[in-house]
Structure 1
């Protein structure tokens, strides 16, 4: 199925902004390039709507201890807040380990609003300045800190979920595995949007079917992986390729909601990861969104599919925070 009309309109708006060709541009050009969030703003302005995010939350920057110094985090709380301790979502932004930052507002504020939770977004070190395993180690450190000290933020460290999109989803699920291997308590649920799941197999059908579909083309994907990895053997590490984790390691992971997009080079490996989790008897809800492309979740103001995904994510998180086994959607 091709991109639906809304998704095509969004990509047309992005093309008008002249984005860098990831994989053929410099690092600086890639980081300065307009993205889907900018295209969303273009469409909203055309409609006469204010593209500014509704600040129905409080916003705090702070640091937590990390393996190579402090890790910056962004703490978002619903506003107005009450006296009760809120459940906590630890969120890991995407960007191929190279792009993205704590100012990405497409996903986390909306999850805070819809799920009524406190969110801690992790500002991990990025490649190529700090390649693997730097970003993974920062995410693990931040997740450990929240599980032990979430009450210092006004949250409930007994009710913690983890989430992420793209490479952020990869790091989120890998962090769960790292804590499980160490025998530590982990999150009660994981929300994974179109993760990279297997860097060793570049011949899956979706890698060909969506090879030229922005914003994540096959060329861009190869470039991101080359920035993050410094040797070929790293691509087999389950922290980068969670599909290669053992059955027992997968069985230790929490209930999972996993989104894929039909027109996404990562579709097939994400769905293979969902099936591997199911085979390990993890409770998994897999939702493929037809007509959508990589990165769609943060575009809920202009994509009906993304709005539906946000609703599903909020319901899943709300159930997961309470330790309930979410019903299949």
Structure 2
């Protein structure tokens, strides 16, 4: 299936230095990935050391001593073997890098990197915003604790309307996964330790990329010459309140609006974004994880962690149930975690709440279990 974005993507050309020039937020000078700032792991800091993070300093939580660390890494899933308060906590470094450029428009990734010997799991994180809003900074309440648990996190910016409709953002994400695999060793990970995580519309794109890693439209942007070949397959997918069926959600919010006020505020927030990103209902049906399964499409089936609140009015429960049933029916694994009384975005809105803390713990456990 052809799409104008695919042909546009193929016209892009750049060199490895151009597509991956780390740009520290508090330092305007661009630097090469091969510089000493991005190394495999890095020397461990003393407990309580101050780490520069995106222009400000933070004091990390205390780490386990060497004996406890040795005991942890000798086990298959160290993050699961300790009570939460005794788990390893890594110092982390945070920096922004340019991973792709469309004309004069750079796309940035925010890297959250644990300091240590590795190799660590690497998770590509995708923000929500109804496909039309948001940026790589949105989900730091998830990304920072995940990185401190010993996971490299790359939170992406990607193209959105009005700049470009579907599937431009998915092509950017597919490219980023492939590029990160070629840079995984330098980041303290390995190409075979990559997963994906997203919130809301970002979670929709996460599972879409996970199910279709070899789709020609999504893989339309070539890697720079000289880099090794890599695909966009992932070891697992973490879905936080995903728009799992865009077409069903579109009909759901249109029906609410047609009934007149009062209706949930989410209706006016997301309805225009559906039209801007998808443009047609046919596209909503095509780029649709649930309907792809119901059509019998041959897809990859990475293990899924699915998190959602029971009072979420933006992501219909019926769509969740359809996806979980179909994914499991065709052989996929889904761990479903429902959070009683919580609405959409509960981790981001109140990261210190018991539900948010429990959700982040579930994410950490799942990633380490599936990728370690």
Structure 2-normalised TM-score?
0.64
Q: Give the equivalent residue in structure 1 for 2:201.
A: 167
Deviations 1:247-281 (A, max 9, x none): 65465221100012212231422332222211111
Q: Give the equivalent residue in structure 2 for 1:93.
A: 127
**Contact 1:91–1:163, Cα closer than 8 Å, also in 2:** yes
Greater shift, 128-137 or 69-78, is seen at: 69-78
Are 1:235 and 2:284 an aligned pair? yes
Are 1:276 and 2:326 an aligned pair? yes
Q: CA deviation at 1:228?
A: 1.0
SS in 1 for 2:301: coil
RMSD: 2.7
SS in 2 for 1:263: coil
Q: 1:106 aligns with which of 141, 160, 163?
A: 141
**Contact 2:244–2:323, Cα closer than 8 Å, also in 1:** yes
Considering fraction of residues, name the structure with more helix: 1
SS in 1 for 2:159: coil
**Contact 1:111–1:310, Cα closer than 8 Å, also in 2:** yes
Structure 1-normalised TM-score?
0.71
**Equivalences for residues 182-201 of structure 1 within 5 A:** 184=231, 186-201=233-248
**Contact 2:129–2:200, Cα closer than 8 Å, also in 1:** yes
Unmatched segments (≥5 aa) in structure 1? 1-51, 323-329
In 1, Cα distance between equivalents of 2:346 and 2:58:
17
Deviations 1:87-123 (A, max 9, x none): 1011111111122112222221122123x10001111
How many residue pairs get aligned? The number is: 261
SS in 1 for 2:356: helix
In 1, Cα distance between equivalents of 2:199 and 2:151:
18
Deviations 1:50-88 (A, max 9, x none): xx987752111112246777532111112xx11332210
**Contact 1:255–1:283, Cα closer than 8 Å, also in 2:** yes
Evaluate the alpha carbon distance shift between residue 110 and residue 132 of structure 1 in structure 2; reply closer, same or farther with a 3 A threshold.
same
Unmatched segments (≥5 aa) in structure 2? 1-56, 61-90, 217-229, 257-261
